[in-house]
Structure 1
């Protein structure tokens, strides 16, 4: 069952924004001052144009217009300079806040227990790292600065109307009830809608990852129809919410256009009335009309950017929800393993839906021993491996590593003691040397070459265009499945844990690649305790001992030769494997 990661409340989101702004308050104040200055300077254009209209109406000479025109040019120049400085300061403020938020999120996301990530699904975390971060970045860089400028323009322009004549301000404010009512109507519907949209996209992403990532299993068990149905349902839910959002925005702008019509009509009628009774000049009425007309863009921008702000707020709440997750609790005085042994006693595990996967598994692995876990699909091999690696917590029984219970080691101690490599290997974008140094940050170049040589990867690495400096991963040199797995095994050598678990680490390679990887895996496991979830039984044959699981229970254990001679389940598996090689 999927348990999506938490989302922060609005109150918490607002508090975090305050925490981000507080150390940058002088930068924020400076940005505000320049934006206000730019807006105020720009408002001088309308009365200057009105003055020119009065001069023309009075049939003054052309020379009289020269000074107002020069002043308009100076206004444009001053507004441009102030706007550039203000925009630059706002960008520095926003980018600094975004960088800090992103660092906190990534730091917390990397520290999440893998069990929690698996329950939530990597799709939910992926959309937060990608889509939600992009939404917030767009808001910080574009929407929020524009929203701030628009709000200031609106406030100062209304002040300018009041200076011309308070009756112009009253006329302009006739549009305000419709605009404010429209915003309230929109926000009540938009906030929950965008929150649902984010969740729906996360669920859609997770279903796509589950279906595409598990394509071989889906095909093998003829589950394609069921999975396509799930993808269709999740995609349909996401599309339906997106269409609801589009319809909401369309109605939103329709109401704003009505408000503009009413407001402009009222200002023009007021100007006509004031000019006729001599309370205002034609130039003043012109300036008032220009002021109100100049409100169209900022009002529409401000109200339209409410849409982007709501979207960014929904994304921000999802990032903060992860950032606020409590850190994993560590023991006050973590124990230290005395050796590299592994022991489980009465180990049982059930998933959230109540399905029991392991039943009373007793297993002992001596220091330096290599044990192969064998069994049919669904026997519980991978679950047992994940429990020992600390990814899942057992429902029953205990796990001891190096003579110490995992609870006494704590999550950090378990990670230092055990490393797990699965068939899902990641090649991180960047130079190959940096990819390897993820395992050991201070590794020297000779150390990197030694690790690569140990897993048989030196030849192809030296043949790369720039050797260890070659950029790999997305946008770089593409590595084969075999090369990617060798890279993972080289990282294992650099990490140098006392206990290593290989979960079907050669399953994705072809027959030629599997031989290379089996040899690389043997070399990487040398000198450490090894548990191998064996996809290919040649790995089991080369192990010190074989443990056979069936329906979550240990049904056989012994050497390869002993189990083949015993004629049990392992012998049957070996015979079938030998016939199809």
Structure 2
């Protein structure tokens, strides 16, 4: 399995952009039409300026009155152009905000729809970078670039057409001189995509190194890996620096070249226009008007050049954001028509994280519907790995893990949650109300159901909150680890799966609270299957059966009384734990 998310190709990015533009086509059309009117109004001023020059040179009639009328007309159309351009940008920015929100929501939906096996094995930095840096750059581009690029493009086209209609010879001269701008853009665009993809990728690598180092800080310190992690960080920073220097080099070539190329049309028209005027082939007013048009063309073209550079980075980010849609079909599982029963069966399951060494060896286990099974063993025995296989987060490379005869790992995420939920000691509290934190598990739940779920896990603290279920967590109050874990357990009660896997889910609770929570869960989940990864043997004592793990092997399976009487590994663990002063 790839450890990197895919990147969308140019065709896919163009298709996504067309869809996003089409989703709000009225605004796009509005921007084009209003800005077209603004550009048309902007053409009148330079044309009137040429008329003023020709009127003054003719010197016939009431020249002063004619010039005043023409000057007033130029001022009026300049004001109209300004108002229309402001209106076009207003429409464009509103379109950008809506489209940016649409892109973020689509990214979130695709992220939540990732198969657990894919999401769980991805480098943290890659997903973080796509959801933060890349999504923000795409949103900024859609908010700003789309309206500004549309405005600049329409304005430039109107100016070019105006020069051609004014005098074909001067217009063609200006277009020929613009070929230098086209050559600069073509040279840049052909080299920019891989460079900016490298910039985004190396940024994600830095984020991954930082996140993984921070998450495993204690392990790094205990194993003396500080130097290796420092070297990894320095290597990723060096790669990022090289990628950014490559992008900088492209810019240092593009912008000087384009600045020179943008000045050529004005120079060319002045030279050719001056020669034509000297031979009485064109009026001075026409030359001045054409020159002003081409001078005005520098503005929109300069805007386009600036955005072309930024659009390369945004295009790379867009490709990374849209890349979530390209998860290989093999990773996406079709919905199973039905699952025949709730029995969980593990047959000769072998599993390896790296492929080099198995951490589970030939596990055979059948969990009956409604059974409460405890899995015990020393640290590193394979308890949590077995829990991941039972929850469908991983697939054994030999053997099978099935529910009702259907491989657990083949169930799509939404269907899997209807059958099995794994809850660990890791939990998350969203900065929102208590109610909304719980409704994640069951959006249709009533307040009475929310109260019952909290009561079921012993979370009596909600009664003391200032606004009850409407209390904002993270703002009005902050939950301690134990309360946050109870909130997480309450979500499981609301989700109401037929099988619940608890992987040391009560590890952060004190022994008394933990036992109360486990008893409450047992009462609420009566008739359902509960598989508990037990780090307290009292949990195992209350189970129907106990599975004992050692070094990746299932070495014992039976009731508490049977295993204690046998005096095998579990019996020895029980005697040792029961002899401790703090054991109940």
Normalising by the residue count of structure 1, what TM-score does the alignment of the two structures yield? 0.87
Q: Residues 549 and 7 of structure 1: is their aligned pair in 2 closer, same or farther, counting only changes over 3 Å?
A: same
Partners of 2:178 and 2:262 within 8 A in 1: no
| Cα shift at 1:560 | 6.1
Does structure 1 conserve the Cα–Cα contact (< 8 Å) formed by 2:149 and 2:307?
yes
Residue 5 of structure 1 aligns to a residue whose secondary structure is: coil
Structure 1 window deviating more from structure 2 (520-529 vs 380-389): it is 520-529
Unaligned runs of 5+ in 2: none
Q: CA deviation at 1:517?
A: 4.2
> 1:163 aligns to what?
165
1:520 paired residue number: 517
Q: Matched residue of 2:350: which SS?
A: strand
Q: Say whether 1:422 aligns with 2:424.
A: yes
Which residue number corresponds to residue 465 of structure 2? 464
* Aligned equivalents of 2:117, 2:578: Cα separation in 1: 33
1:100-115 matches, cutoff 5 A: 100-115=102-117
What is aligned with 1:387? 389
Instruction: Find the counterpart in structure 2 of residue 213 from structure 1.
Output: 215
Q: CA deviation at 1:196?
A: 2.0
Distance 1:454 1:219, change over 3 A: farther
Relative distance call for 1:577 and 1:428 in structure 2 (3 A) is farther
Partners of 2:246 and 2:410 lie apart in 1 by: 52
Tell me, yes or no, if structure 1 residue 7 matches structure 2 residue 7. yes
CA RMSD of aligned residues (A): 3.3
**Distance change in 2, residues 1:15/1:405 (3 Å):** closer
Match of 2:341 in 1: 337
Note closer, same or farther for the CA distance 1:278–1:578 as it changes in structure 2 (3 Å cut): farther
1:503 equivalent in structure 2: 503
Specify whether residues 504 and 241 from structure 1 end up closer, same or farther in structure 2 by C-alpha distance, changes over 3 A only: farther
How far off its partner does 1:352 sit? Answer: 5.3
Q: CA deviation digits over 1:266-287, x for unaligned, max 9?
A: 3333344344444444443333
Q: Secondary structure of the residue that 1:478 maps to in structure 2?
A: coil
Q: Secondary structure at the match of 1:430?
A: coil
Aligned residues: 574
Deviation of residue 433 (structure 1)? 0.4
Question: What does 1:110-509 correspond to in 2, within 5 Å?
Answer: 110-325=112-327, 326=329, 328-330=332-334, 333-338=337-342, 341-351=343-353, 353-401=355-403, 406=408, 412-459=414-461, 461-473=462-474, 477-507=477-507, 509=508
8 Å contact kept, 1:490–1:524: no
Q: Distance in 1 between matches of 2:244 and 2:204?
A: 14
SS of residue paired to 1:390: coil
After superposition, what is the alpha-carbon deviation per residue over 1:265-316, rounded to whole angstroms, capped at 9, x for unaligned?
A: 3333334434444444444333333222212221121122112222232222
Cα displacement string for residues 466-495 of structure 1 (whole angstroms, at most 9, x for unaligned residues): 22112225x664332222211100101111
SS in 1 for 2:341: coil
Q: 1:254 to 1:477 in 2, by over 3 A?
A: farther
Q: Matched residues in 2 for 1:223 and 1:518: separation?
A: 38
1:343-389 deviation per Cα after TM superposition (whole angstroms, max 9, x unaligned): 32211113354442211112233444433333444432222111101
- Cα distance in 2, alignment partners of residues 226 and 522 from structure 1: 46
1:393 Cα offset (Å): 1.6
CA distance in 2, matches of 1:203, 1:376: 35
Cα drift, residue 539 of structure 1: 4.4
1:483-533 C-alpha deviation (Å, 9 max, x unpaired)? 2211100101111222211223244x3xx6565345324422442432223
Q: Summarize the Cα distance change of 1:404–1:195 in structure 2 as closer, same or farther, 3 Å threshold.
A: closer
Decide whether aligned partners of structure 1 residues 56 and 330 sit closer, same or farther in structure 2, where only a CA change above 3 A counts: same
Tell me the alpha carbon deviations over residues 232-291 of structure 1, each in whole angstroms, 9 at most, x when there is no partner.
323332333223222322321111122134333333333443444444444433333322
Is the contact between residue 335 and residue 408 of structure 1 (CA under 8 Å) also seen in structure 2?
Answer: no
With 444-453 and 514-523 compared, the bigger mean Cα shift is at 514-523
Contact 2:549–2:555 (CA under 8 A) maintained in structure 1 = yes
- Shift in Å at residue 192 of structure 1? 0.8
CA offset at residue 142 of structure 1? 0.8
In the aligned structure 1, how far is the partner of 2:177 from the partner of 2:512? 76
| 1:205 shift after superposition | 2.6
54, 71, 82: which one pairs with 1:80?
Answer: 82
Q: Structure 1 residues 278, 364: closer, same or farther in 2, change over 3 A?
A: same
CA distance in 1, matches of 2:545, 2:245: 59
The one-character-per-residue Cα deviations of 1:82-134 (angstroms, maximum 9, x if unpaired) are 33443354456555555555444433332221101123334323332332322
State the 1:332 CA deviation: 5.2
Deviation digits for residues 31-80 of structure 1, max 9, x if unmatched?
32222221121122222233444556677765443222321232133223
- Decide whether aligned partners of structure 1 residues 150 and 501 sit closer, same or farther in structure 2, where only a CA change above 3 A counts: same
SS of equivalent to 2:14: helix
Q: Secondary structure at the match of 2:187?
A: helix
Q: Identify the range of structure 1 (482-491 vs 60-69) with the bigger mean alpha-carbon deviation.
A: 60-69
**Contact 2:213–2:220, Cα closer than 8 Å, also in 1:** yes
CA contact (8 A) 1:347 1:358 kept: yes
CA contact (8 A) 1:335 1:409 kept: no
Q: For the Cα contact (< 8 Å) 1:334–1:410, is it kept in 2?
A: no
Contact persistence 1:105–1:323 (CA under 8 A): no
Q: Secondary structure at the match of 2:121?
A: helix
Q: Secondary structure at the match of 2:360?
A: strand
